[in-house]
Amino acid sequence: MAMRVAVTGSSGFIGSALCRFLEGEGHAVVRVRWRPDSGRVEADKLEGSDAVVHLAGENIASRRWDARQKAAILVSRTVPTARLAQALAGLRSKPKVLVSASALAQGEGFLAEVCRKWEAAAGPAAEAGVRVVNLRIGMVLSPAGGALKKMLPAFRLGLGAVMGDGSGAMNWVCMEDLVRAALFCIEKEGLSGPVSATSPNPATQTEFSRALGRVLRRPVLLGLPVPMIRLLFGEMGEELFLGRPKVRPSELLEAGFEFYYPDLESALRWLLD
Length in residues, the chain: 273
Amino acid letter, residue 45? K
Which among 256, 154, 132 is positioned nearest to 212, based on CA atoms?
154
CA distance linking residue 74 with residue 82, whole number of Å? 12
Give pLDDT, residue 95. 96
Which pLDDT score, from 0 to 100, does residue 242 have?
A: 74
pLDDT tens, the chain, 273 aa long: 899 999 999 999 999 999 999 999 999 999 998 765 665 777 788 999 999 999 977 677 667 788 888 888 898 889 889 999 999 999 999 999 999 999 888 778 888 899 999 999 999 999 999 999 999 999 999 999 888 998 899 999 999 888 888 888 999 999 999 999 999 999 999 999 999 999 999 999 999 999 999 999 999 988 888 888 777 777 777 777 776 789 999 999 999 999 999 999 999 999 998
Query: E strand or H helix at 163, and its extent?
Result: strand 161-163
Q: What residues contact residue 158 under an 8 Å CB cut-off, 6+ apart?
A: 218, 219, 221
User: What is the value of pTM for the model shown?
Assistant: 0.92
Domain borders along the chain are 4-272
User: CA-based Rg of the chain, rounded to a whole angstrom?
Assistant: 19
Q: 7 by DSSP, 3-state: which?
A: strand
The CATH code of domain 4-272 reads 3.40.50.720
Measured CA to CA, the distance from residue 132 to residue 227 in angstroms comes to 41
The amino acid present at 120, given as its one-letter code, is: A
